[in-house]
A and B are shown apart, each in its own frame.
Chain A
């Protein structure tokens, strides 16, 4: 069973090394506004998430994934598809 709630804690662990500003990470944390990730870092992070869950997160999907919670939801949806 892969739902958003089970994905979230592991997802936060994966994102932690990218948390250069050392802020608290939760479902509402925004990649652009809070973590201020540049485009190259985003690509590395996306690759890590894809490898962890053995999925593809297409580039065209990324603009809709603003927060960590959005990504958790997308991962859960893809895994249960």
Chain B
């Protein structure tokens, strides 16, 4: 530093601090902290006791915002598989999937996915985010079109931004708007329609039967992201596309290991005969290290168990419906009229009340997600996600604590 300052002002042109652009966000965050509430974005879990219980600041809390839908994180078979792989294959792969980073466990994981989805091809990425980046950026080139729902996940938008296709949005879950936009695409252009089974902000599901029909009629290829549906939608737990009966019409299913599978990682499965070429052209697959051996071993074991987790599915749906109904009856305003998934979003009137309610819930011993305002412009949400391991008693506790927290936070309820 002293060297450059010695050179004097004339030799160094004045330039803005590159962080200046974040000043409004920093001010918003500082305002939240200054208002005396706990910081919802820097909570530290000191101990994890089970998929549904943790210790924060020496106090036990119920976890109601983890996306750990099927409670596989502490499954004894999953843990055992991971420990064995850690001992036998080491801590990491130190390499890309296309170089030294494909171990027996990665192949095993892809085999488990092919069986689970009954599809020909499966490709495992290091995160779900990268799976979407890889598919979107690689598959659609200049002159092609990607048509996506306006409420698509950031990974879908970011993958589009990495690629060269023209990107067209349609109104969230609006079949007619999708159809209208598809009709405007020029003849001869390749088209990928990207849908999600469950949209994670308010937990609503897509009308996949209708949307897939419209996309197919336009000659488009279809990708469905089932991140928030794997494990508990459809007879085999494959996702909303299975429940909607459109398995034969979907070209790609994208998913993640960081929700129902209980680990970390992402994947694409497909029956497309040329699918395997993606291993060479999807840059987020090629230019990053592969998942550690313990992670793929845990994931493969978890996926194989999820297929037959009928009781867990039933219990998760019961818990989700019960929490939704009870919060609604208590006067909370929810993101959906019924429990469409295992996500239950509670609408808050403003950020101030949202922060107050979030803090009151933590004081009561309940963790939910306070959704950052940037993720849902115009909406302030506290998001709950249920786990198949939440007991009936825990769900009753969650409801009682929500009611007490609303009183503490002075959240008006509509009864």
Residues of A at under 8 Å CB distance from B?
A: 38-40, 43, 47, 50-51, 54-56, 58-61
Contacts and interface: CB of A to CB of B under 8 A. Distances in A.
Interface residues of B, number: 17
Given A43-B150, A43-B169, A61-B166, A56 B377 contact: no
A56 B145 CA distance: 11
Q: Nearest 8 CB-CB pairs, A to B? A: A58-B166, A59-B167, A56-B184, A60-B167, A40-B377, A58-B167, A56-B168, A58-B168
B161 interface: yes
B166 A56 contact: yes
29 contacts: A38-B377, A39-B377, A40-B377, A40-B378, A43-B150, A43-B169, A47-B171, A47-B177, A50-B181, A50-B184, A51-B180, A54-B184, A55-B184, A56-B166, A56-B168, A56-B181, A56-B184, A56-B185, A58-B145, A58-B166, A58-B167, A58-B168, A59-B169, A60-B160, A60-B161, A60-B165, A60-B166, A60-B167, A61-B166
B80 to A, nearest CB: 46
Interface of B: 145, 150, 160-161, 165-169, 171, 177, 180-181, 184-185, 377-378
A39 B184 CA distance: 23
A55 B186 CA distance: 10
A59 B160 contact: yes
Contacts of B150: 43
Contacts of B161: 60
A52 to B, nearest CB: 12
Contacts of A55: 184
Contacts of A59: 160, 167-169
Nearest to A62: B167
Contacts of B177: 47
A54 B184 CA distance: 7
Given A58-B168, A59-B160, A60-B165, 14 more contacts: A38-B377, A39-B377, A40-B377, A40-B378, A50-B181, A50-B184, A55-B184, A56-B168, A56-B185, A58-B145, A58-B167, A59-B167, A59-B168, A60-B160
Nearest to B181: A56
A38 B377 CA distance: 9
Choose among A40, A43, A47 the residue with the greatest number of B CB atoms under 10 Å from its CB.
Answer: A47
A7 B166 CA distance: 23
Contacts of B171: 47
A56 B181 CA distance: 7
A51 B150 CA distance: 17
A64 to B, nearest CB: 13
Contacts of B160: 59-60
A58 B148 CA distance: 11
Nearest to A40: B377
A47 B171 CA distance: 9
Contacts of A60: 160-161, 165-167
Nearest to A61: B166
Contacts of A40: 377-378
A59 B13 CA distance: 35
A54 B377 CA distance: 28
Nearest to B177: A47
Contacts of B184: 50, 54-56
B91 to A, nearest CB: 41
Contacts of A43: 150, 169
Nearest to A44: B171
A32 to B, nearest CB: 13
A54 B185 CA distance: 10
B183 to A, nearest CB: 9
A80 to B, nearest CB: 14
Choose among B161, B181, B184, B378 the residue with the greatest number of A CB atoms under 10 Å from its CB.
Answer: B184
Nearest to A53: B184
Nearest to B185: A56
B102 to A, nearest CB: 34
Contacts of A58: 145, 166-168
Nearest to A81: B186
B37 to A, nearest CB: 25
Nearest to B147: A56
A56 B167 CA distance: 9
A60 B168 CA distance: 8
B87 to A, nearest CB: 48
B171 to A, nearest CB: 7
A62 to B, nearest CB: 9
B132 to A, nearest CB: 16
B28 to A, nearest CB: 14
